[in-house]
Structure 1
């Protein structure tokens, strides 16, 4: 199994185990035994004859409560002894969440939380405010909360919104500046004009373009060709439509797309529309000023009708040559496949820049419908997974109508 094929949990568990084992190899005497005891876990500690005390014992107890014994080579629990588990009560789980936050770094805590939710079915406990206050907030947790949105009691909703807002604010702070600067440059280049007004001349590009006209006797350049941005710099240059699949497997993509949608909508030169869909279509454009409102306006889960969603997006396009449509979906179409492909072909023929992302997340290549991805690639719309760090470059390329920066792991180039 390659690293790309492992789940995030397996990779993190193996990395942690290797790190501790490496430290054990370098340590001496009792310290080596202690480290191996922590790696091996289990009551007998596999023959190390090393007893854990204090903080070490507490760390081992926290791991045993979740994994129920020693971990196998993929970081998964052996034995699954439920008698040593977390139980089903919110107070015991909340205490455990507090413990692991004090014993482990944030990245490890997030992995353990995911395992606790997946292995022990703790999702319903997240509907209790005291639980939400104890968790380490991340994109995965936000996705879980959104999937529980309809079942969430009023007493929990404000706490849930606070947790979601914390994650959204962190993501926006991380992604906004680079996104704006990258796309502003792309917009400027795409709007370049050759007969600008004096105040709109780009003197740096104009000088570079006219260096051949340098007159040494006058120490000057004769600007035979002027380059500038003209009045277009003050108006909407591009229209972007984000069309997001809100099926359960797309949770992280929905979170990231909502944040990027808010960032794009804050740029005066871009008109942004955000559409989410399952078997129905919902336009959340009027909520783009607050991505938290957008997220709570989604409903993760349900079926998928890409054709219906694209039909709606197509009906909203008024300037095809200046429009970028970004479909974010795993392409498991529940609607009419042939009509979906015809719509994509029609949009591209009209001048629309069409981008198909299998996922917008930090994960590796997701599960997706390979037949539909191949069909889109044949239409000149390659489908690929995209990380949040790469998304600004993808959008810049689409705006400038140049080849997309498709990563090496993409299934269709």
Structure 2
């Protein structure tokens, strides 16, 4: 019996060399090695019990509601996860309802490895962003632990020396997304220690500090990086058909010199009023810079929605880009009988107005012709009058001239007779 007690006492020391240690001793003791910089205790207890009390080697007690800044404490029904930075070496103890049916997992030297964000991000792009949880440089695969790790990505507007500013003047964090190792979305496998997020960069252009931290307090450490957000290098337009027959159009226009020619592709989902989806895809070819393709016009009246994804390659650094297109709506109006009657009425009015205009123009032309005829006739009459008057005047002048000549001849003959009489 004494040998058994000695074995139980030294069992923690012998088992510390493993990556994680599971313990279920009666006194709930475990030892922290002096070389450990960070340690996490995952204590499983009775579901109806309160959080444990963690006792340091020097007797100092830590509680879920009271502990120093180098301790983070996450609690839920039946479990406590306690992470400590630079823990005091020596024997620790968890005081609580930790029965032999339950266990204490000691995870040492945990490290969170975060992908570097591209220094140049684009507004509205969606980025596949990955983090890995490592223990002694190996992926941690404890599902009990991983299922409870929640990592948060937040951006803060960049200012110099933010810690020197009053707390109210510091930039407020903008939460863009949360990691999860759940095999959903962009995460490939659940519980493999790899956390992946589809990070939506829905933020105004500018300079920011990107921060990754533990949302539920399991980790104390945060990771920061400076990034620049640029306006989107392309625009996308959905052009609705003008009637129930004409197809819709989708047009993507990149900025000059921003996108690799031929790299554009699009996936568009159209949802009709009955909830049925229609997928349309298109891609550029060769050295084509922009992208344009048609989308079927279902034609049924009602409210429609469309959304999708754009894919491109950044010309500056050859980085693949993904842009999410948020859901937008448009409507197709029903063609009512009243509308058709109104259209017919408008058509008849147009025909009537055209006929009246044609009649007015014909009347004006007839009036112009009549006026021209009057002018011509009047001119001819004046000309005839002038000719007749001229002839009359000429004849009168001619007659006077003949008479004058005759008188001159008579007078001349009279003078000759008188002279002959005088001579005789």
**TM-based fold match above 0.5:** no
Place the TM-score, normalised by the shorter chain, in its bin. Answer: under 0.3
Taking structure 2 as the reference length, what is the TM-score of the superposition?
Answer: 0.22
Taking structure 1 as the reference length, what is the TM-score of the superposition?
Answer: 0.23
> Hey, which of these two has a bigger chunk of strand by percent?
2
> Hey, which of these two has a bigger chunk of helix by percent?
1
Bigger Cα Rg: 2
